[in-house]
Every structure is written in structure tokens, then in C-alpha cells.
Amino acid sequence: MEYFLQQLINGITLGSIYGLIAIGYTMVYGIIGMINFAHGEIFMLGSFIALTVFLALAAIGITFLPIVILIMIIVAMLCTALWGWTIERVAYRPLRGSFRLAPLITAIGMSIFLQNFVQVTQGARVKPLPPQIRGGITLLDGPGGIVVQISYMQIIIIAMTIILMTAFALIISRTSLGRQQRACEQDRKMASLLGVNVDRTISLTFVMGASLAAVAGMMYLLYYGVIDFYIGFIAGVKAFTAAVLGGIGSLPGAMLGGLAIGLIETFWSGYFSVEYKDVAAFSILAIVLIFMPSGLLGRPEVEKV
């Protein structure tokens, strides 16, 4: 039982990171019906920017951890937001009226470009970061020396995920921007006729998704302590899988899918073979989609005539 609870905590932590990345996929798809395959690289850029800021602050003598983390978050979100806006402006907006494969190919090209850009500028070797937030809370001290513990870093990740999810849900449901996003999701042409600036709304959606990916990238860096130029591809595929599993286009579905993928990977690694955790995740995705083609919380797509 103690081992199960520990794996549950680890799975929720990993799933929270996947969920934050998956929100970017589902927001873009919900509005323009396209998959931003460069989104995983935005997550990777967020990690590298956060590491660069950390090293720069340490070099000038700023070591007070709360201030350092706050600056890392702000700078990473601003930089990745700029990248998100650039990707939308360069890779998506000119091809929005083209055939559907054109922006997909462009997004894959942007993903490869960002991977190689980071590899050339930062090197191919992994970049380590010593643990910055140590310690935790012991929840259960079971027989046989098995201890159930939640680290302070895990608490921060889970709490930040809940805060960000709540904030974005309020933005979409209560603000003018949220109403414009929902209008564009239903019918972009009609929204434009009613005075909604569709181009600006779509750009802001990319910016919001990229900012969340930056937070996920910074938390990944602090949690695992090792990053490289390839983590964006792996995490991006997992997050995209989470978005599809939860129901592409649904924000709660993206979060639910991320938690599901994280729990599947963690429990499979803990009780079976770690080499086949990805096989288990994708197999469950296939099974769910057979019986629920729209995902766990997705809505069937209605064709407008």
C-alpha cells in the first residue's frame, strides 16, 4: 500500500507537467483546428531559458531562491511567449487558408529548426542542475522501512498546476478574451463579422499556450535536474497523446489526459518493466479511442453545412 501511494504521488506530479504542455496543444486545435507540433520544443526552450537565467543570476550573486525562481518564471514565460507568437505569425497565419497538410509540415519544420538551434547554441550534451529545493513531508512510515513522502518540489508542481488551471479556466469563462476564443472556436468567420479580431485572438492563444509550456519546462528542470535539446520531442509526443486521450479541444480533458498518462507511466514503471511504459500508455490510448473516439471529455465534431 505504501509503495502504491508513493507511485500515485509521483504519477500525479509527472501528469501535472504533461497536462500543462497538453493545454497548449488543445487550445490551438480548439480554435484553428491544427496541431502545433513545435509546441514540445517551446517546452524545451522554456527549460533552457530558465537554466540560463539561473546561471546568470548565480554569476551576479543573486542566490535567494524565491527571487531566483520568480525571475526564472517571468523571463521564461516572456521569451517563450515571443517564440509562440513568432511561430503563429511565421508558420501558421500565412498558411491558414491553405490545404490542411501545409501548416502541419511547417510546424514539423519549425520543430526541427528549434531542436537544431538549441543543439548548435547550447551543445548536444545534457545540462545538469543540482537540486535546489530539498526535503519533503513524510506522509506514512510503513513497516519494512517503506516511507511515503511528498517532496516540496512535488508540492510546488501540483500547487502551481492547480493555480494555473484555475486561472486559465477563469480567463476563458469570465473574460472578454475568453469569449472571443470561444467564438473563434465555434465559427471564425462569423466571429470576425461580429467584430472579433480573429488574428489577435489566435496569436494570444499561442502566447498563452507557450507561457504554460515555459512553466512546465522550468518545473521539469527543477524536478529532474537534467535537460537536453531532445526533451521537447519526447515530452511533446506524450503531451499530445494526453490531449487526444482527454479529448482534443477540451482544457479539462487535456489536464485529465496528462494525469492519466503520468499515472500509467509511473505505475507501469513501478510494477512492470520501465522499458515498456510508453507501449502501455499508447496501448491504453488506442483502447480508449476505440470505444470513445472523441476522448474522455471531448465532444463529437459537428460538421457545419
Residue 305 lies in a domain: no
Phi, psi of 136 (to 5 degrees): -175, -170
Q: What pLDDT score was predicted for residue 73?
A: 93
Q: What pLDDT score was predicted for residue 215?
A: 93
- pLDDT in 10s for each residue of the chain, 305 residues: 788 888 999 999 999 999 999 988 888 887 777 788 889 999 999 999 999 999 999 999 888 999 999 999 999 999 999 999 998 888 888 887 777 778 788 888 889 999 999 999 988 889 999 888 888 898 887 776 678 889 999 999 999 999 988 888 888 888 898 889 888 888 888 888 888 898 899 999 999 999 999 999 999 999 999 999 989 988 888 898 899 898 887 888 889 999 999 999 999 988 888 888 888 888 888 888 888 888 888 776 655 55
How many alpha carbons lie under 13 Å from residue 297 in its C-beta half-sphere?
Answer: 15
Q: What pLDDT score was predicted for residue 303?
A: 54
Residue 296 lies in a domain: no
Domains of the chain: total = 1
Residue 299 lies in a domain: no
Q: Do the Cβ atoms of 221 and 44 come closer than 8 Å?
A: no
Q: What pLDDT score was predicted for residue 297?
A: 83
Q: Cα separation of 86 and 199, whole Å?
A: 13
| CATH number of residue 196's parent domain | 1.10.3470
Q: What pLDDT score was predicted for residue 116?
A: 92
Q: What's the pTM?
A: 0.91
Query: How big is the chain by its Cα radius of gyration, in Å?
Result: 20
Q: What pLDDT score was predicted for residue 260?
A: 92
Residue 298 lies in a domain: no
Please work out, in degrees rounded to the nearest 5, the angle formed at the alpha carbon of residue 100 by the alpha carbons of 109 and 297.
Answer: 95
Residue 226 lies in a domain: yes
273: domain range? 2-291
Q: Cα separation of 28 and 88, whole Å?
A: 10
Residue 83 lies in a domain: yes
Amino acid at 109: G
Residue 260 lies in a domain: yes
In a 3-state reduction of DSSP, which class is residue 35?
Answer: coil
